[in-house]
């Protein structure tokens, strides 16, 4: 029997964190190609350090997407995040684009030809997860860690709080009682500040109202321990303070450690890459299973081989909360959606420029948008699943 009373911690990082700057630029490159050629292939990695950005990887797409154009888009992304500091400035940074053509060996395995359907872009395992802890069916610790930083970012962008910088991290330790999240025992927030004279107590006074807004009523009490800028000062931030790389915050991007992760990053990859699209599909299925009241908590694993269209396996674990046999649920899930790379992309309409917005504050637990963004968060399979289960 699983534990019912325990503490669990998850962290989040802001859009201005060095790794997230890189995720944003890489996904901006993906969007640039998909906006012109929905079938483009992109595998883009970004490195950022003091006033330097390097964009590398492989692509197959229209020639009008030039290095100069991608450099311009990267500057706009950095500007939108808010970097205008001496050590990392959207206008002054040296940006180098080193993208090259996609490998013909990879292309022949992925592309459809004759009677061969489009294959997966690589081998790998992907996980989806959903749990009845928040209205968005996300684990509470990561969901609220994201909310804290998103609220601080909103205050910064609106000018409501003019002293906060783009780089920030949060961490929340959630107390569970009888298996349900009921409060926060520890709160960690480290946020860049532009006024060098501010102490940790000064920064706490600025951010505390936003943190309280982000958490449910009653979750913070007199016993909650706060750690705000524990080093005492956080003025130098972003890539000037620490180098960033695409794909280094995959647990932040998913479930905060509350569920397994297959290991593949999302950002910088077009949706033929199952690291991204199949992870979205697994979340989509898991969320619909819980929304259909077939389980209170579910983990779904998919696996693929490069060049092979259909998944090698689908595994469902309802962690003892299921209301239907897991083997039957596996059979049903394979029937309600085509889990080939093409089937996933078509069902979720993934060949769109919808990825830059995913690069911070989590790929999951976000409301689906009218233009197809976060389509994997829809719960439109509920009736079909219930009918199929009988």
pLDDT tens for 329-381 read 999 999 999 999 999 999 999 999 999 999 999 999 999 999 999 999 999 99
Distance of alpha carbon 45 from alpha carbon 367, whole angstroms? 27
Binding residue numbers for Mg(2+): 19
CA atoms within 13 A on the CB side of 87: 13
Segment 93-100 mean pLDDT: 97
Binding residue numbers for L-methionine: 58, 102, 242, 273
298 touches 289 (CB < 8 A): yes
Q: 95 pairs with which residues across the strands?
A: 53
The residues annotated with a catalytic role in the active site are: 17, 19-20, 45, 58, 169, 234, 242-243, 248-249, 269, 273, 275
In 3D space, the residue among 158, 21, 30 whose CA is nearest the CA of residue 90 turns out to be: 21
> Which CATH code for domain 124-132+273-389?
3.30.300.10
Architecture of domain 6-13+140-236: 2-Layer Sandwich (3.30)
Report pLDDT for 103: 65
Binding residue numbers: 17, 19, 45, 58, 102, 167-169, 233-234, 242, 248-249, 265, 269, 273
> Euclidean distance between the first and final Cα of the chain, in Å?
28
Residues of the chain with CATH 3.30.300.10: 6-13+140-236, 124-132+273-389
Distance of alpha carbon 57 from alpha carbon 42, whole angstroms? 8
Q: 200 pairs with which residues across the strands?
A: none
What is the residue-averaged pLDDT of the chain?
95
Segment 13-18 mean pLDDT: 98
Report pLDDT for 106: 58
Distance of alpha carbon 274 from alpha carbon 339, whole angstroms? 10
No. of H helices and E strands in the chain? 10, 13
pLDDT score of 4 more than 70: yes
Q: Is 361 helix (H, G, I), strand (E, B) or coil?
A: coil
Cα-atom radius of gyration of the chain, to the nearest Å? Answer: 21
291 touches 138 (CB < 8 A): no
pLDDT, tens only, 122-151:
899 999 999 999 999 999 999 999 999 999
């Amino acid at each position: 029997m699983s534990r019912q009373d325990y503490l669990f911690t998850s962290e989040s990082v802001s859009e201005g964190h060095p790794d997230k700057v890189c995720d944003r630029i890489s996904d901006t490159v993906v969007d640039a190609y998909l906006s012109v050629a929905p079938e483009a292939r992109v595998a883009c990695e970004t490195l950022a350090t003091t006033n330097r950005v390097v964009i590398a990887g492989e692509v197959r797409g229209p020639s009008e997407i030039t290095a100069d154009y991608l450099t311009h888009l990267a500057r706009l992304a950095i500007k939108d995040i808010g970097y205008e500091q001496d050590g990392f400035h959207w206008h002054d940074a040296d940006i180098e684009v080193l993208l090259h053509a996609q490998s013909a060996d990879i292309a022949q395995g992925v592309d459809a030809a004759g009677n061969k359907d489009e294959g997966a872009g690589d081998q790998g395992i992907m996980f989806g997860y959903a749990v009845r802890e928040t209205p968005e069916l996300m684990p509470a610790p990561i969901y609220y860690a994201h909310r804290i930083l998103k609220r601080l970012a909103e205050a910064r962008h609106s000018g409501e709080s003019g002293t906060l910088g783009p780089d920030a991290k949060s961490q929340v330790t959630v107390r569970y009682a009888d298996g349900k999240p009921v409060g926060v025992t520890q709160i960690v927030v480290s946020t860049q500040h532009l006024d060098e004279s501010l102490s940790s107590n000064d920064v706490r006074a600025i951010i505390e109202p936003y943190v309280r807004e982000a958490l449910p009523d009653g979750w913070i009490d007199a016993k909650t321990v706060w750690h705000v800028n524990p080093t005492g000062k956080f003025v130098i931030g972003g890539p000037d303070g620490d180098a960033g790389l695409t794909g280094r915050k995959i647990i932040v991007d998913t479930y905060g450690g509350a569920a397994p992760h297959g290991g593949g990053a999302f950002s910088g990859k077009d949706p033929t890459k199952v690291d991204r699209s199949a992870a979205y599909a697994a979340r989509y299925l898991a969320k619909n299973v819980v929304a259909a009241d077939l389980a209170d908590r579910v983990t779904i694993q998919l696996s693929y081989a490069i060049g092979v269209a259909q998944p090698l396996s689908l595994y469902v674990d309802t962690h003892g909360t299921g209301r239907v046999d897991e083997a039957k649920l596996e059979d049903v899930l394979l029937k309600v959606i085509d889990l080939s790379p093409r089937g996933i992309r078509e069902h979720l309409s993934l060949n769109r420029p919808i990825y830059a917005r995913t690069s911070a504050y989590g790929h999951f637990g976000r409301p689906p948008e009218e233009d197809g963004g976060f389509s994997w968060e829809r719960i439109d399979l509920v009736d079909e699943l219930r009918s199929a289960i009988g």
